[in-house]
Structure 1
Amino acid sequence: MTEALFGWPPPVLDPMGPYAEPVRTVAWALSGMGALVTTLVVAALFVAWRGPPVWRARLGGQTSILVFGVALPAVVLAALLIWGLMLTAKLDRPAADGAMRVRVTGEMWWFRVQYLDPQGRVIAEDANELHIPTGQPVAIELASADVIHSFWVPHLSGKKDMIPGRTNRLTVQADRIGRYGGVCAEYCGRAHALMGMVVIAHAPDEFGRWWGARRAAAATPKPDSAGFALFTDSGCAACHTVDGTRAVGRTGPNLTNVAARQTLGGGILPNNRGTMTGWVGHSQSIKPGNRMPNYDRLEPRQLQDIVTYLETLK
């Protein structure tokens, strides 16, 4: 699997699909142009400081200033703007009819992921984790439940803002099986830097098996247990949904398959029993300002019972 946010090259320079390729091209062009301009400026400073008097006089003349200080920057910047807009225009083109549809909603400070049917109805929900098949464009509807966020998975596409009251659209595609990190790329408050997600690209047949298991898990009634009783009595069910149970809260992430996720806490923690125990008991110590309160009032045995129940949600 591929980690998107670490290693070399940086993810913006390492596209894994056709919608990220134009971003890399623009990034290299701008970096190269910036290096060239820096070199020219340093050279001009050196001439102005130590160059022959004739060169210094020419450099400071009116013609040189108009050509190199006004005309050349105007032409170069205009050309870069037009070329960049033409190159990245495909990023705003909608995916073809029949493409997989997903709605991703930015919330403080996590991503709500909803898989949609062709009519736009929600058929499954997840949090901070998006599964897609390789080699196929995926149409993503971007929304916000509170402030302006921004959705960016550098390996797969450019970034686009998530604006309250508005739906933006972005198409992504992964041509290689892997695990690609995503972030919120617009400052959105205290825990902005701790708002991440992961996109997992499967081979098409593997994605079909994953999707079938996901739908089956959502449709399977969950048995009552001591952990579930504590889950509901402690108030967890007021904020979280677990499909097939009486837990139908909408404030926090859907937990129907929380044990199968690769991360916790808005994409910042690996998912295992230790991190889940720490998150349930003391989430404010891990991600200050998030909307889940600490549950340090629970006895250690009660906390372990809740975690044991959550580990059954796969």
Structure 2
Amino acid sequence: MFKQISRGLRSILYAAGCAMFLQAGAWAQTITTNTDTFSPASKPAHEIFGLAMFALAITGGIFVVVAAAMAYAIIRYRRRKDDDGSEPPQIFGSVPIEIAWTVIPIIIVVVLFLTSARLIFAIKDAPRPKSALNITVVGHQFWWEVRYPGLGIITANEIHVPVSTKADPQPTYIKLLSADVVHSFWIPQLAGKTDVIPNHVNETWIEPTHTGIYKGQCAQFCGAEHAKMLLRVYVDTPAQFKAWVKQQQQPAVEDPAVAAGREVFMHNACMNCHEIRGTVATGR
């Protein structure tokens, strides 16, 4: 009886484990699709990816050397049948070995430090061409406000930029502000993370070389709805970007359904919990 129960329990656990494995794979695929740093599509992201691969090669080499040394020691000096149990000769200090395991790590750390510092300053001090697009992104709990000062456009949770080519470089410089708490602006395929801090201005830039939609997110926990603070960057052709700008600059069309919805919102319990700036709806 107990054997039958044990077999049944094993079958259930096996099925549950397979289901969890498949679900984890699906979840990982979703996350990777949203935050893929291994498919850079912008100049800063390409340089960051190169640095990451350089660091991975060094640390991977260290892992291989250490693992090989441990495997050799385990196999070469394993216990044998003819061992008499006596203690092997002991070595109390070796100047060449101690120098080696002190100097080599220092050299590795210095190389990684200098390489990282060079890239940080190269990205930070990159020359800004006159053709660059300037935008301002303001982090709110829990959404992104995107302003185009030179175009008179404001959007929410989406950025439209023109694609950059060798013949016509079109980088986009982004001024980052926070309206409340600390956020972190991150579009993995286009640039590295940049903190968005209250009462402080930070700046980053992107130069996408491929059209498409790139997903970003807030990478700093900022409250209960942090996970929903997402962002999309639409990289358009020059013609598409001009058409989008023209469409956004058109006056808004007043839809009767919108007016009716506003009346419902303002005269019912919605305004007790929700807030619309410029109205009496100030609930939180």
TM-score (ref. length: structure 2) = 0.72
Q: Which amino acid aligns with 2:111?
A: A
- Partner residue, 1:100: 133
Deviation by residue 1:229-249 (Cα, 9 ceiling, x = unmatched): 22443466x8336xxxxxx45
Provide the rounded CA distance (Å) in 1 between the counterparts of 2:74 and 2:92: 11
Q: 1:222 aligns with which of 254, 262, 276?
A: 254
The letter for the 1-side match of 2:48 is V
Alignment of 1:82-231 (within 5 A): 82-93=114-125, 95-117=128-150, 123-135=152-164, 136-216=170-250, 219-224=251-256, 225-231=259-265
CA distance in 2 between partners of 1:83 and 1:37 (Å): 18
Asked whether the 8 Å contact 1:151–1:159 carries over to 2, the reply is yes
Give, in whole Å, the separation in 2 of the partners of 1:153 and 1:171: 11
Gaps of 5+ in 2: 1-28, 79-88, 165-169
For residues 79-104 of structure 1, the C-alpha deviation after alignment (integer angstroms, 9 at most, x for no partner) is: 11111221343321363334211111
> Unpaired runs of 5+ in structure 1?
242-247, 253-291, 294-314
Return the offset for 1:172: 0.7
CA gap of 1:59–1:5, structure 2 versus 1, over 3 A, is: farther
Counterpart AA for 2:110: A
Task: Classify 1:221/1:191 alpha carbon distance in 2 versus 1 (closer, same or farther; 3 Å).
Answer: closer
Aligned to 1:270: none
Determine whether 1:239 maps to 2:275: yes
Shift of 1:223: 4.3
Q: Tell whether the 8 Å contact from 2:183 to 2:218 is kept in structure 1 after alignment.
A: yes
Counterpart code for 1:126: T
**Contact 2:266–2:281 under 8 Å retained in 1:** no
Take 2:90 and 2:233, find their aligned partners in 1: how far apart are those partners? 58
4+ aligned runs moved over 4 Å, structure 1 = 56-60, 249-252
Relative distance call for 1:131 and 1:233 in structure 2 (3 A) is: farther
Percent identity reads 25
Give the residue type in structure 2 aligned to 1:156. Answer: L
Match of 2:20 in 1: none
Normalising by structure 1, report the TM-score.
0.66
Q: Which amino acid aligns with 2:229?
A: M
The separation in 2 between residues aligned to 1:78 and 1:59, in whole angstroms, is: 30
**Is the contact between residue 143 and residue 164 of structure 1 (CA under 8 Å) also seen in structure 2?**
yes
1:210 partner letter = W
**Whole-angstrom distance in 2 between the partners of 1:239 and 1:156:** 33
1:240-279 superposed matches below 5 A: 240=276, 248=278
Paired letter, 1:11:
D
Q: 1:43 to 1:6 in 2, by over 3 A?
A: closer
Equivalent pairs counted in the alignment come to 236
Q: Deviations over 1:258-308 (max 9, x none)?
A: xxxxxxxxxxxxxxxxxxxxxxxxxxxxxxxxxx86xxxxxxxxxxxxxxx
Partner Cα distance (1:78, 1:179) in 2: 38
Counterpart Cα distance in 1 of 2:72 and 2:92: 8
Are 1:151 and 1:161, in contact at CA under 8 Å, matched by a contact in 2? yes
- Equivalent-residue separation in structure 2 for 1:211 and 1:4 (angstroms): 31
Deviation at 1:174, TM superposition (A): 1.2
Deviations along 1:144-194, one digit per CA (max 9) or x if unpaired, are 112211111111111111011101010112111100000112222333233
How far apart are the structure 2 equivalents of 1:227 and 1:149? 32
Contact 2:136 2:176 in 1 (8 A): yes
Partner residue in 2 for 1:71: 103
Indicate the RMSD between aligned Cα atoms, in angstroms. 3.3
Structure 1 residues 137 and 47, CA gap change in structure 2 (3 angstroms):
same
| CA positional deviation for 1:133 | 0.8
3-state DSSP class of the match of 1:19?
helix
Instruction: Determine whether 1:34 maps to 2:59.
Output: yes
Q: 1:303 is matched with which residue?
A: none
**How many Å apart are 1:13 and its aligned residue?**
1.7
Query: Which residue type is aligned with residue 70 of structure 2?
Result: L
Which residue in the other structure is 1:271 paired with? Answer: none
